[in-house]
A and B are shown apart, each in its own frame.
Chain A
Amino acid sequence: MAVERTIRHIKALATGAKYMLGGHRLTLMYPDDIQEFPDGYRGMIEYDWDTCIKCGLCAMVCPADAMKMYVSKEESEEGKRPVRRPGINYTRCIFCGFCVDICPTNSLKFTKVHDVAFYTFEEQIYPPEKFREGIPKPQYDKEPRKVRAVLDEKRGIRYEPVE
């Protein structure tokens, strides 16, 4: 029994040493490396002002009350009746993507951006006029390396640079 135990201790230590020297690393070195996400990644949402038919389905389906219909000022004054357009509140958004999937004209689209920092609470609210301008561009101190996750038989996951 004591022999068996000793062997097992040695095996455990040997396995640890194997991995220590083998360079088996899964860590993504964020933010020096930034991962490129696969197509269809549910990130922040882009809004197409021109194709939107203002049906309001996105606001209706939103489970977190993030997407809401706002009265669009200029248009309402021009048409002399209230025109409503969607706006999004990123303090509430849970990135379920229901609004994108229900939009009948593909006016809402996923982007692959999710890591944006804001200074204030209010900045995270995107009424229609701000929503149409697109998502904020992530800013980096040093331009990061873009990497892609490659699934690997031996290493599990490797991050390879993309051009």
Chain B
Amino acid sequence: MSLEERELEVLIGPQHPASGHMRLVAKIDGDIVVELRPNIGYVHRSVEKLAEVKKYLQIIPLVERPSLADTTANNLAYVMAVEKLLGIEPPPRAQYLRTLLAEINRIHSHFYGMGIHGVMIGSSTAYMWCFGDREPLIELAQELTGARLTYSYIVPGGVRRDLPQGFEDKVERVMRYLENRMPDYFDIYFNNPVTRARLEGVGVLTKEDAIKLGVTGPNLRASGVPYDVRKAEPYAAYPELDFDVITEEAGDAFARVMVRVREIQESIKIIRQVLKNIPDGPILDEKYMKMIPPNLRKQVEETGHIKFPGVFANLRVPAGEAVARVEGGRGEVVFHIISDGKMSPYRMRMVTPSFRNVILFEHLTKGARVADIPAIYGSLDYFPPEADR
């Protein structure tokens, strides 16, 4: 063996290099990354193909599974596409409830991303704090939907449950808690010189590249592109709500974290508006409400828990195509459904934000140091199962 200089190939993963099952194939020259290629597909679960043999309602839990932290976005986007084919529009109260859950989910999804990022760069404190502070939000979502993460809350024509009693108070308490705690987050983590040293100027994505590569979500907005599906193509109750699209100019890992922090603050604003302006009324489309037997309809009004009409078991959707998109916590979620009038879709295409952001691994790590790989990885809030589907 000679002592000539040569590149070294390092395999990181797929057994959890930090978070998520994916192998990164890195070519390094000393401490500098020459090339880093993500080896995706390790947790591919063929969601799209499975959807072709499942009935329309059964696909709801299926599309939720790939994204652990961000289930509402997938649930909502899928149901919106189905509703377009069915030609129904959910009642206003249901729209507000969808928005409420989507925003609660966005906050805890951002906490999840920041927590994982924290532990990747060695700050266990940030990890513990973020995961701890997800808990009140998960508790809220659990009270609303009955489950911690996989809510399956949004169904064609509306939502499954109305607001529980005293829910507004609880939400307000949690929102105040988050606001109280935010300054401490800055003191212990975001403004910590160690964090700044690890993240500032690392993995810079320019505005032009961000657009050219088709990046989405907070990663795009951190490069100064004010693009948000909630504004670009408003859905649910967003047209009636007042909020800003958060952008940062720097485009580095720190800017990506800052976008998430500021979006949490923006989501708090949205949740308050939702609870203030939520209209009264039914939470399921009239057409389906009528199909529920009369004695059960009374029960639904009393408990606020929807009973499904029998047609939901074998929901038939008229032939056609529909596309729906939603701004999830990690970025834009797109569903394209082609129906041939049978009980299952002919084809379902699911485009997740992580799938679109995975290209950044190769782009951002070129010339970076090996120790910066986790700092960049975490800042992208990339989630392998979501990208692999």
Pick from A14, A40, A63: contact of B146, CB below 8 A.
A40
Partner of A63, one of B58, B147, B173, B296: B58
Contacts of B307 on A, CB cut-off 8 Å?
101-104
Q: By the criterion CB–CB under 8 Å, are A97 and B146 in contact?
A: yes
Give the size category of B's interface with A.
Answer: 35 or more
Q: Are B188 and A63 in contact (CB under 8 A)?
A: no
Query: Chain B: which residue is nearest A25 at the CB level?
Result: B132
B344 interface hit (Cβ, 8 Å) = no
Q: Are B146 and A11 closer than 8 Å at their CB atoms? A: no
Q: Which of B100-108, B136-144, B243-251, B363-371 contacts A (4 or more CB under 8 A)?
A: B136-144
A11 near B187 (CB under 8 angstroms)? Answer: yes
Closest chain-A Cβ to B132's Cβ sits at a distance in Å of: 4
- Chain B's interface: helix, strand, loop or mixed, by majority? helix
Asked if A61 meets B308 with Cβ closer than 8 Å, knowing A110-B146, A156-B133, the reply is yes
> What B residues does A5 contact at CB under 8 A?
193
Nearest-Cβ distance from residue B305 to partner chain A, whole angstroms: 6
Contact partners of B313 in chain A: CB under 8 A = 57, 60-61, 102
29 sample A-B contacts, Cβ–Cβ < 8 Å, listed by A number: A5-B193, A9-B192, A15-B184, A15-B188, A40-B146, A40-B161, A40-B164, A41-B146, A61-B58, A61-B308, A62-B58, A63-B54, A63-B57, A63-B60, A63-B61, A63-B62, A96-B60, A101-B160, A101-B306, A102-B307, A102-B312, A149-B139, A151-B136, A151-B140, A153-B173, A153-B177, A153-B180, A156-B174, A157-B139
The smallest C-beta distance from A58 to any residue of chain B, in angstroms, reads 9
CB <8 Å contact, B142 and A37: yes
Contact across chains for A156 and B181 when beta carbons are under 8 A apart: yes
Q: When the two chains form their complex, are residues B146 and A98 in contact, meaning their CB atoms are under 8 A apart? A: no
Q: In the bound complex, what is the Cα–Cα distance between A104 and B310 (angstroms)?
A: 8
Closest approach, in angstroms, between the C-beta of A153 and any C-beta of chain B? 5
Which residues does chain A contribute within 8 Å of B160, judged by CB atoms? Answer: 101
Binary flags per residue of A30-73, CB closer than 8 Å to B gives 1, else 0: 00000001111110000000000001010011111000000000
In chain B, what residue has the closest Cβ to A97? B146
Known A97-B146, A104-B293, A156-B177; contact A12-B187, beta-carbon cutoff 8 A: yes
When distances are taken between beta carbons in the complex, the residues of chain A under 8 Å from B61 are 63-64, 94, 96, 98
Residue of B nearest to A94 (CB): B61
CA A8 – CA B193 in complex, angstroms? 7
* Structural contact, A95 and B181, CB atoms closer than 8 A: no
Chain B residues numbered 302-318 whose CB sits less than 8 Å from any CB in chain A: 305-308, 310, 312-314
Q: How far is the CA of A76 from the CA of B318 in the complex (A)?
A: 39
Cross-chain contact B177 with A94 (CB below 8 angstroms): no
Q: Is the CB of A156 within 8 A of B60?
A: no
On whether the beta carbons of A151 and B170 are closer than 8 Å, the reply is yes
A63 partner residues in chain B, CB cutoff 8 A: 54, 57-62
